[in-house]
Amino acid sequence: MHVPETAAMELHDVNLILTVSILSAWQNIYFARKVSMIRNKHNIRHGSTTGHTEFETVYYANQNLQQYYSTFLVLLWGAGLFTSQVWAASIGLLYLFARQRYVKGYLGPATCRPPGFFFAKRTMMTLSGLVAIGLLNHCLKRFLGVEFDDYVANIAQAAPAVLLFV
């Protein structure tokens, strides 16, 4: 099967979203290590999910983040491949910041949790919007021969600012 040259992908086409993916993996390692260190600090056996309050707090904060991780990666890559790698990577970095803020807030009083959570949620919705725009354009191009690449490029430039801050 012959693949047209325009369909060939190179590292520079995905280097930003790959970088954010790697940073997110390192952040996951950091959070998992934090759980492990607090587990050891309070002599909580591996496999246990209860024990000291400090451990339970860090453990559940990490679990909450893990539940959204695969969704984040799919949306990050989808937005980067279908619309704008620069915007997807930028929003991905904001998501990592929001995750860090969420964990920090989770370790404090319950009132400190919502800001990080809601900001992370907003970044995921923004990535989701970019994916939807890109998928729609791809389907229109593939099945109807209608090409809106210029419009999608313009939307991909403006949409993140609108979606993030509305």
Give per-residue pLDDT as tens, 121-149: 999 999 998 899 888 888 887 787 777 76
Task: Using alpha carbons, select from 68, 75, 72 the residue that is nearest to residue 133.
Answer: 75
User: Is the separation of the CB atoms in 81 and 128 below 8 Å?
Assistant: no
Residue with tokens 């949620």: 121
Most trustworthy range by pLDDT among 15-19, 108-112, 154-158? 15-19
Collapsing DSSP to helix, strand or coil, 71 comes out as helix
Residue with tokens 């993140």: 160
> Which amino acid is residue 56, in one-letter code?
E
Backbone φ and ψ for 107, nearest 5 degrees, come out as: -80, -15
User: Is the separation of the CB atoms in 42 and 51 below 8 Å?
Assistant: yes
* pTM for the whole structure: 0.81
